[in-house]
Amino acid sequence: MTDHRPIGVFDSGVGGLTVLAALREVLPNESLLYLGDTARVPYGNKGADTIQRYARGAVRFLVERDVKAVVVACNTASAYALPGIADEWEIPIIGVIEPVANAAVASSRSGHIGVIGTRATVRSGAYVRAIERAGQTHIVPLQQPCPLFVPLAEEGWTQGPIVEAVASEYLSAFQGSAIDTLILGCTHYPLLKVTITQTLQRLMGRSVEVLDSATATAAYVQEALRRQKALRQTESNASVVYFVTDEPQRFADTGAPYLNEPLEHVEHIDLVT
Ligand code: DGL
């Protein structure tokens, strides 16, 4: 059995490329359709209804292109729109919160877990619930919104004094806490991982395990497709096509560092929601 249909991946902007990169690593035979809703990024400071409406339209766009699964590679959309949207389609619709919450609970020795994300993700409480479902029922995770990280990542500002100053301001919320694991609860943040890890180490005076959703989510997708016998077995001609709701060239320029290669086949589309 082989299923040649592509996997759809969706984020508000370039952040979901961190998940796309992990998918390409774990599932090199799979073709991918990526949708970045770049005209409306950021989602993280919008209200629940707006985020749900945007996410619903984005998932529908990908499903209508005959994908065999959709990865909601955006924590904000995963927090507000799942499982609601997943129930509307027959193919697997997989979010990024549960995979990394499970990984964090498995990796934390003390059970003290920190979460950083957009304002909306933190406010939703989705990580608190996911971490509890993963078995960490006694210690409530410590959460900190970091709204300026998304525009910095979208601008390609990932290191240097300004990023360090912003990171210090946000991450000082964890100073003196017992966290041994920090979840990057936004798919844009892995681009700032070096700065985040070093700043946290400086503030805490010890190292903290920093986890992002990309690897854990890719493993989930692999398992979901394996269960459905929907993996593509052919070892050639896997393609990646990108759709964006704003200017393609800007997306290609900003996205290239996420994949360490130029982004080809970027098309502009309009989402009807
Ligand atoms: N990358 C997204 C996330 O994981 C969204 C960032 C945003 O649009 O605010 O939350």
Same-domain pairing of 13 and 89: yes
- Three-state secondary-structure class, residue 130: helix
List the one residue out of 227, 176, 181 whose CA is nearest residue 203.
176
* Domain contains 253: yes
- Reported as a single tens digit per residue, the pLDDT across 2-32 is 889 999 999 999 999 999 999 999 999 999 9
Tell me which residue range forms the domain holding 48. Answer: 7-95+215-268
Ligand 1 shell residues, CB under 6 Å: 11-13, 15, 41-44, 74-76, 118, 121, 150, 186-188
Which mutation among 72, 186, 245 tests ligand 1's pocket best, with the greatest number of atoms within 8 A of CB? 186
Given the structure tokens 């509890």, which residue do they identify?
132
Query: Are 63 and 176 contacting, i.e. CB atoms less than 8 angstroms apart?
Result: no
Q: How far is the CA of 118 from the centre of ligand 1 (A)?
A: 6
Q: Do 163 and 262 lie in a common domain?
A: no
Q: Is residue 2 assigned to a domain?
A: no
Single pTM value for the model = 0.94
To 5 degrees, how large is the angle CA 182–CA 149–CA 107?
A: 15
Residue 28 forms part of a structural domain: yes
158 and 245 in a single domain? The answer is no
Report in angstroms the alpha-carbon separations of 43 from 180, 201, 251, 257, 259.
29, 29, 16, 22, 22
Structural domains counted in the chain: 2
| Whether residue 232 sits in one domain with residue 103 | no
Q: What is the pLDDT of residues 180-214, one digit of tens each?
A: 999 999 999 999 999 999 999 999 999 999 999 99
**Proportion of the chain in helix, strand, coil states, percent, rounded to 5:** 45, 15, 40
Residue 90 burial by Cβ neighbours in a 10 Å radius (0-12, 13-18, 19+): exposed
Query: CATH number for the domain including 129?
Result: 3.40.50.1860
As a whole number of angstroms, the distance between CA 106 and CA 102 comes to 6
Does residue 146 share a domain with residue 54?
no
Q: How confident is the model at residue 273 (pLDDT cuts 50, 70, 90)?
A: low
If asked whether residues 154 and 116 sit together in one domain, one would say: yes
